[in-house]
Amino acid sequence: MAKWLEYARIAGRQALRKRARLLLTALGIAIGVAAVVGIVSLGEGIRCQSVAMIEEQSDLALIEVTAGLHGGTIVPITASKTASIASLPHVQASAPVVKAAFATRQQTYLGVVGGRWDEMVAVFDPVLHQGRGYRAGSADAVIGRDLADQLLRYEGIRPGDTFGVLVREYGESGLPEDREGDLAAVGILQERDDALDTAVLMDAATVTALAGERDTYDAVYVRVDSPENVFSVVEGIEGLGLNANGAFEEIESVNNLMDVVILVLSSFTGISLVVGALMIVNTMIISVFERMREIGITMAVGASQSDVVGLILLECLYIGIIGGLIGDLMGIGFAAIINTVGRSLILDRLGANFAGFAEADITLITPQILAAGMLIAVLLSLLAGIYPALKAARLNPVEAIRQM
């Protein structure tokens, strides 16, 4: 350890002998690092703001489970599957449902969701605008706000009214046949800005009695205890052979898109990193040529080839550290310029759907990005120093001393 500390001191002193050369060489790496930091911070900023917008506009803790497909075979949602879903870690509540399509006698389409009211409350936390929830085994119906307004406007159906519905079936001849039933509008939901605004909620047993008995469910709605745990619950659901749908898919799409964008843009900035690495190679080769006599004397008095390689690489390490620090600082400045000067241009290109970006930074500098920039600078500097170091280590001490 003491030997390498001494080598570090010697290498540092040697690097500082020509400060201008050291600074210019480090700048070659720093420019590439700054470009990477700026580009990645832009991608991370857009990713973060996009996810925040999705979180504001969607219910990330809600998952809809549907039948899966495995090996060309449909995996149905059975009672045992629903029990397994309910027992998954971080599942706060679940509501297995059956779905059906009814129509009023005036041919207004009714998308019906049948389940237990207490389970629907636990998952969706619905707020009633008027009336009450439906009772088990009854023909009660709770209607979404938008659909209720439509039924009132065109058919005069109000809370407390009983109205007829038609259930279309197809007989053995293939011709459609409509079966009639009656529902009681016992409640209207407050506006939610989701699919329940146009749905009719009923007891599952009543739905199956009207639409036909079935042994499986059409879907299971799952409430997760926290949005951060959604992906682990999704993995558990998919492990049962079922499909999981929800707002989390939008986050996955954003993440996948931004990963590709960052990778593509970073690949272009890699050109400047390669140029910086070549500058280090060139600088260190010149340095080795200028110090041939010194290296020859060092080897003549007992220094091994590994000692020479270590000394050269330590100089490259200093260049990488300096280049990484400067590059991170330049990257922070680059990100600030993008955030102030380029924000309006980027927002114009993204369109009105991203107007929320105007109130927040479109770049995001994180410690991980800065650490990655430093690591890139150090690794490239060390890699660039391998050839000059090996060239110096292979010098013949006698010839090296005579040439200078």
114-145 pLDDT tens trace: 999 999 999 999 999 999 999 998 999 999 99
CA distance from start to end of the chain: 33
Distance, in Å, from the CA atom of 347 to the CA atom of 362, rounded to the nearest integer, reads 9
- Of the chain, the percentage scoring pLDDT greater than 90 comes to 36
pLDDT in tens, the chain (404 residues): 666 676 677 666 666 677 777 788 888 889 889 988 988 888 888 778 777 777 777 778 899 999 998 877 889 999 999 999 999 999 999 999 999 999 998 889 999 999 999 999 999 999 999 999 999 989 999 999 999 999 999 999 998 899 999 887 766 666 667 788 899 999 999 998 888 999 999 999 999 988 887 889 999 999 999 888 888 999 999 999 999 998 888 777 877 888 887 888 777 777 888 888 888 888 888 777 777 777 777 777 777 777 778 788 888 888 889 999 999 999 999 888 888 776 666 666 655 555 555 566 778 888 998 999 999 999 988 888 888 888 877 776 666 666 65
Residue 143 identity: I
**This prediction's pTM:** 0.65
Distant-in-sequence, close-in-space partners of 128: CB < 8 Å, separation ≥ 6: 142, 187, 188, 189, 190
Residue with the two structure tokens 């390490």:
317
8 Å CB contact between 187 and 202: no
Helix (H) / strand (E) element for 63: namely: strand 62-66
pLDDT tens digits for range 303-335: 777 777 878 888 888 888 999 999 999 999 988
